[in-house]
C-alpha cells in the first residue's frame, strides 16, 4: 500500500526521493507526491494522480534544490485518487508537511474540532487532519516544539499509521512515527533515509533501524536518531540491524517483469527454503522454531492457520498436509473473518500465521486476538523482521528472497515447502509417519527444485502459445481435487488479479453443484489432473466438461494418456507425491496467468487497485 520515502543529508534529496518511490512502486498506488525544503526554509510540494513518472514530469524543476525531502505513493482510502488527495499534505499555515501510510480512524471527530477552531481542509483525507492537529498543538503553546507537537497529535489519534513530517522552521529534521504500518530508518554517514522498507536506500547503507510499534523518532543531522515511545516519551536505545538485502535482488535482472523473474527463481527459492532444514542423507528435518516448541505442537488440541489471499491458499494445503501426516486437527481461517467473529480460542491451540509480507493488517489483528486469548502463535513469513514475524512466539522464515511483483508466486511455493517440512517433522515426531514413508517423502521433497526447473524449461513456450488463444476470454474455471483443489483456487486468483479476467477455482466434484451450468464452448477450464490423487474421478469430471463442449486445459503428469486425449490443451509436469504436486503444478498456472495478462497489455507487476502489502483492513 502507500509508500514512504524521506531523506536528510548531503545528497540531492530530489533524486533520492524519486528513485526511492520508484523502488516502492511494487506496493501498489494511484498517486504520487514530493516535498522538499528548498534551502530557504520554504517547503515546495508537487503531487499528482498517476504514476511516479507523472510526478517526475511535473517536478523536475525541484532537482538539485534541496538536501532534505520526502515523497509518497498513495493507495486511496479516504477520498478518490486525485491531485488534491495525494500526499504530501500541508498544514493550514503551510509550515508543516506530512506523508502517511494507514488510516486515522477518528479523523472525523478531530476534523470537526479543528473546523470549529477555524481550520480549513483542501482534501478529503484523514492525513490532512493529522498535519493540522500537529499545527494546532504548536499554535496552542508556542513553547511546544515540532517533535513534541507530533507526539501530542499521535496520542490523540487511533488507527494505523506510519508517518513522516517536516517543518520549514526545523531545517534538516524529519519526525517519524509508527503504529501498525512499517517504517525503516537507514543510517548513512552524515545522512539518514526513511522508507516503508529498505529497498529505497539499500545502495547507500546496509545499516537500518526498524521502528517499533508505538515509537516515534526525531532524525536530524545534528543529533542523529532520537527514538521515544509515543505514549510516555521514554527514550529508547535503537537496535541497528545489518541489511542482507542486495540491489540485485530488487532489480529485474533482464526479465521483462518482476513476476516473470520471480516465477523463474522458484527452483532456487524452494531450495533456499529447505536449505539447512532438510537433511536427506541424515534423514532429518531441522527446524529450530518447531523443535523448541515441540510440546506445544504435540499437545495442541488443534492448529488454526490464519492468512489472507494466496497465503490462505497455502494454508489450505497446509491443512491437508498436517492432518494427513501429523494427524493434528487443523482449521484454516481468513484473518479478516477470524478477527471479527469472536472465535473460540484456548491456550491448547496453536495458531500458525502465514504472510509473505508479514504486514497484512487483518492477519496482524487476528494474531493479536489469538495471542490475547492465550494461543501459541507461530509465524511463516517471507519478510525478515516484519511486524507479524515480531509478534509471533516462534516461526520459520520462508527465505524466498524479496517478492516485488504484486502477484505472489515464489512466496507461495516457499510457503508450501515450509508447510511440507512442518507436517513431515511433526508426523515423524509424534509417530504418525513411519520412518520408511518419512524417508521417501523427504527424498521427494528434496527433488522438487529440479522438477520445477524441468517444468519451467519444458512448458514455458507451450504456455505462451496456449495463452495467445485465451486473451479474449471473459471467464475461466479452475478445477482440482484433494491437494490440488487449493492449487486451483490459487491458479484462478493469479489469473484474475493480473489479467482482470473473471476466474473461479472449485473442487472438481463441486462442479455438478452449480458451476457446470456455466460450461459451454466458450468456457475455458483449467483442470489439474496428476496421476496420484483421485485421477479416475478427475477423468469423469473431464468427460462431463467435454460433453458440454468446454475447452479443457489439462495439467497432467508426463506420459499421461487418458485425460490428455480428451483435453484441448495439455501441459505436462513431472510426477511427484500428491502432497507436493501443488508446488509443481502451480508453476505452469503462474506462467499461464502471466502470459495472458501480458498479451492483454496489463501491468502485471502492479495490477490495478491492488497493493503488495495490505497494511489497512
Ligand atoms: O503478505 P501476505 O501474504 O499476508 O498477503 C496476503 C494477500 O494480500 C496476498 O497473498 C494477495 O492475495 C496476493 N496479491 C496474491 O497474489
- The DSSP secondary structure of 563-589, one letter per residue, reads HHHH-SEEEEE----GGGHHHHHHHHH
Residue 458: C-alpha distances to residues 128, 254, 461, 503 (Å) = 54, 21, 8, 25
pTM of the model: 0.84
Do residue 517 and residue 460 come from a single domain? yes
Q: Which of 250, 284, 311 is the last residue before a domain boundary?
A: 250
How many A from CA of 61 to the centre of ligand 1? 38
CB of residue 613 inside a 6 A radius of ligand 1: yes
CB of residue 181 inside a 6 A radius of ligand 1: no
Smallest CA separation from ligand 1 atom 2, residue: 355
How many A from CA of 422 to the centre of ligand 1? 21
Specify whether 2 is catalytic: yes
Q: What is the pLDDT of residue 160?
A: 86
For residue 277, the number of C-alpha atoms closer than 13 Å in the C-beta half-sphere is 26
Report the 10 Å Cβ neighbour count for 57.
Answer: 12
Do residue 401 and residue 462 come from a single domain? no
Smallest CA separation from ligand 1 atom 8, residue: 309
CB of residue 407 inside a 6 A radius of ligand 1: yes
Report the 10 Å Cβ neighbour count for 239.
Answer: 11
How many A from CA of 566 to the centre of ligand 1? 35
Pocket test for ligand 1, best of 257, 262, 310 (most atoms within 8 A of CB): 310
- Is position 190 within any domain? yes
Do residue 24 and residue 131 come from a single domain? yes
- Is position 542 within any domain? yes
CB of residue 606 inside a 6 A radius of ligand 1: no
Q: What is the pLDDT of residue 14?
A: 97
> Number of structural domains, the chain?
3
Do residue 557 and residue 538 come from a single domain? yes
Residue 63: C-alpha distances to residues 12, 57, 68 (Å) = 7, 12, 12
How many A from CA of 215 to the centre of ligand 1? 27
Do residue 478 and residue 570 come from a single domain? yes
Q: Which of 380, 415, 446 is the last residue before a domain boundary?
A: 446
CB of residue 356 inside a 6 A radius of ligand 1: yes
CB of residue 3 inside a 6 A radius of ligand 1: no
- Tell me how far apart the alpha carbons of residues 322 and 341 are, in angstroms, rounded to a whole number: 25
Q: Which of 230, 250, 270 is the last residue before a domain boundary?
A: 250
Residue 299: C-alpha distances to residues 118, 347, 434 (Å) = 61, 10, 20
How many A from CA of 405 to the centre of ligand 1? 11
CB of residue 332 inside a 6 A radius of ligand 1: no
Do residue 85 and residue 25 come from a single domain? yes
CB of residue 363 inside a 6 A radius of ligand 1: yes
CB of residue 308 inside a 6 A radius of ligand 1: yes
Pairing verdict, β 68-74 and 3-8: antiparallel
Per-residue H/E/C for 249-313: HHCCCCCCCHHHHHHHCHHHHHHHHHCCCEECCCCEECCHHHHCCHHHHHCCCEEEEEECHHHHH
The C-alpha cell 487443523 sits at 330
Do residue 319 and residue 434 come from a single domain? yes
CB of residue 360 inside a 6 A radius of ligand 1: yes
How many A from CA of 90 to the centre of ligand 1? 33
Q: What is the pLDDT of residue 70?
A: 98
- Is position 209 within any domain? yes
Q: What is the pLDDT of residue 401?
A: 93
CB of residue 355 inside a 6 A radius of ligand 1: yes
- Is position 96 within any domain? yes
Give the CATH number of the domain where residue 491 resides: 3.40.50.10490
Q: What is the pLDDT of residue 351?
A: 97
- Is position 582 within any domain? yes
Do residue 208 and residue 276 come from a single domain? no
How many A from CA of 356 to the centre of ligand 1? 7
User: 3-class DSSP state for residue 532?
Assistant: coil
- Tell me how far apart the alpha carbons of residues 512 and 509 are, in angstroms, rounded to a whole number: 7
Low-confidence ranges of the chain (pLDDT < 50): none
- Tell me how far apart the alpha carbons of residues 501 and 487 are, in angstroms, rounded to a whole number: 18
- Is position 267 within any domain? yes
Burial tier of 488 (Cβ tally within 10 Å: 0-12, 13-18, 19+): buried
- Is position 532 within any domain? yes
Q: Pick the closest to residue 550 from 508, 591, 519, 588 (CA basis).
A: 519
Specify whether 308 is catalytic: no
Q: Pick the closest to residue 454 from 612, 583, 609 (CA basis).
A: 583
Q: Pick the closest to residue 333 from 346, 347, 344, 348 (CA basis).
A: 344
Do residue 548 and residue 561 come from a single domain? yes
Q: What is the pLDDT of residue 489?
A: 98
Smallest CA separation from ligand 1 atom 14, residue: 407
Do residue 222 and residue 204 come from a single domain? yes
- Pull the grid cell for residue 445: 521433497
Q: What is the pLDDT of residue 522?
A: 93
Residue ranges making up the domain that contains 38: 3-250
Exposure string for 416-443, b = 16+ CB within 10 A, e = fewer? bbbbbbbbbbbbbbeeebeeeebeebbe
How many A from CA of 565 to the centre of ligand 1? 36
Looking at the CA of residue 408, tell me the nearest atom of ligand 1: 16
Query: Of 2, 308, 381, 579, which residue is the catalytic one?
Result: 2
Pocket test for ligand 1, best of 356, 487, 499 (most atoms within 8 A of CB): 356
Give the CATH number of the domain where residue 61 resides: 3.60.20.10
Do residue 296 and residue 409 come from a single domain? yes
Q: What is the pLDDT of residue 253?
A: 83
Do residue 89 and residue 233 come from a single domain? yes
- Is position 609 within any domain? no
Looking at the CA of residue 613, tell me the nearest atom of ligand 1: 1
What residues pair up with 49 in beta bridges, in sequence order? Answer: 31
Smallest CA separation from ligand 1 atom 12, residue: 309
Amino acid at each position: 500500500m502507500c509508500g514512504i520515502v524521506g531523506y536528510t543529508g548531503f545528497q540531492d534529496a530530489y533524486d533520492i526521493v524519486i528513485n526511492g518511490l520508484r523502488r516502492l512502486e511494487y506496493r501498489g498506488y494511484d498517486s504520487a507526491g514530493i516535498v522538499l525544503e528548498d534551502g530557504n526554509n520554504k517547503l515546495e510540494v508537487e503531487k499528482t494522480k498517476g504514476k511516479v513518472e507523472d510526478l517526475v514530469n511535473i517536478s523536475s524543476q525541484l532537482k538539485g534544490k534541496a538536501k532534505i525531502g520526502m515523497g509518497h505513493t498513495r493507495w486511496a482510502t479516504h477520498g478518490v485518487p486525485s491531485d488534491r488527495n495525494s500526499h504530501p499534505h500541508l498544514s493550514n499555515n503551510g509550515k508543516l508537511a506530512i506523508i502517511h501510510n494507514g488510516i486515522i480512524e477518528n479523523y472525523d471527530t478531530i476534523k470537526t474540532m479543528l473546523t470549529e477552531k477555524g481550520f480549513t481542509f483542501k482534501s478529503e483525507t484523514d492525513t490532512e487532519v493529522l498535519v493540522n492537529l500537529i499545527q494546532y498543538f504548536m499554535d496552542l503553546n508556542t513553547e511546544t516544539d515540532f517533535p513534541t507537537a507530533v507526539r501530542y497529535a499521535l496520542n490523540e489519534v487511533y488507527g494505523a499509521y506510519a508517518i513522516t513530517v517536516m517543518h520549514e522552521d526545523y531545517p534538516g529534521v524529519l519526525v517519524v512515527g509508527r503504529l501498525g504500518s512499517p517504517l525503516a530508518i537507514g543510517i548513512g554517514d552524515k545522512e539518514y533515509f526513511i522508507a516503508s522498507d529498505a529497498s529505497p536506500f539499500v545502495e547507500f547503507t546496509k545499516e537500518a533501524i526498524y521502528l517499533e510499534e508505538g515509537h516515534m523518532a526525531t532524525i536530524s543531522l545534528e543529533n542523529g536518531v532520537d527514538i521515544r515511545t509515543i505514549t510516555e516519551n521514554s527514550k529508547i536505545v535503537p537496535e541497528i540491524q545489518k541489511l542482507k538485502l542486495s540491489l540485485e535482488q530488487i532489480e529485474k535482472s533482464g526479465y521483462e517483469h518482476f513476476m516473470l523473474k520471480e516465477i523463474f527463481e522458484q527452483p532456487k527459492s524452494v531450495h533456499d527454503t529447505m536449505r539447512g532444514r532438510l537433511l536427506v542423507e541424515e534423514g532429518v528435518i531441522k527446524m529450530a522454531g518447531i523443535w523448541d516448541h515441540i510440546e506445544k505442537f504435540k499437545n495442541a488440541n488443534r492448529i488454526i492457520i490464519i492468512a489472507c489471499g494466496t497465503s490462505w491458499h497455502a494454508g489450505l494445503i497446509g491443512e491437508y498436509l498436517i492432518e494427513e501426516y501429523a494427524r493434528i486437527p487443523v482449521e484454516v481461517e481468513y484473518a479478516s473473518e477470524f478477527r471479527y467473529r469472536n472465535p473460540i480460542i484456548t491456550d491448547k491451540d496453536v495458531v500458525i500465521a502465514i504472510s509473505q509480507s508479514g504486514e497484512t493488517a487483518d492477519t496482524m489483528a487476528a494474531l493479536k486476538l489469538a495471542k490475547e486469548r492465550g494461543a501459541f502463535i507461530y509465524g511463516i513469513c517471507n519478510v525478515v523482521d516484519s511486524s507479524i514475524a515480531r509478534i509471533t512466539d516462534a516461526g520459520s522464515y520462508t527465505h524466498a528472497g524479496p517478492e516485488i511483483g504484486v502477484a505472489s508466486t515464489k512466496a507461495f511455493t516457499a510457503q508450501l515447502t515450509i508447510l511440507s517440512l512442518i507436517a513431515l517433522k511433526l508426523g515423524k515426531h509424534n509417530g504418525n509417519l513411519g520412518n520408511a514413508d518419512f524417508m521417501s517423502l523427504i527424498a521427494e521433497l528434496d527433488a522438487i527444485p529440479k522438477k520445477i526447473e524441468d517444468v519451467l524449461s519444458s512448458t514455458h513456450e507451450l504456455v505462451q502459445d496456449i495463452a495467445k488463444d485465451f486473451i479474449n476470454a471473459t471467464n475461466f474455471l479452475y478445477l482440482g481435487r484433494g491437494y490440488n483443489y487449493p492449487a486451483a483456487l490459487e491458479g484462478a486468483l493469479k489469473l484474475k488479479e493480473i489479467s482482470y479476467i473473471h476466474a473461479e477455482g472449485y473442487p472438481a466434484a463441486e462442479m455438478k453443484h452449480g458451476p457446470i451450468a456455466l460450461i459451454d464452448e466458450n468456457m475455458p477450464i483449467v483442470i489439474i489432473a496428476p496421476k496420484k490423487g483421485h485421477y479416475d474421478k478427475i477423468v469423469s469430471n473431464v468427460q462431463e466438461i467435454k460433453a458440454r463442449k468446454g475447452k479443457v486445459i489439462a495439467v497432467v503428469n508426463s506420459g499421461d494418456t487418458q485425460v490428455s486425449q480428451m483435453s484441448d490443451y495439455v501441459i505436462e509436469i513431472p510426477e511427484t507425491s500428491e502432497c507436493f504436486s501443488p508446488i509443481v503444478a502451480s508453476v505452469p498456472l503462474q506462467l499461464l496467468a502471466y502470459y495472458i495478462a501480458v498479451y492483454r497489455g496489463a501491468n502485471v507487476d502492479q495490477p490495478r487497485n491492488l497493493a503488495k502489502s495490505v497494511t489497512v483492513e
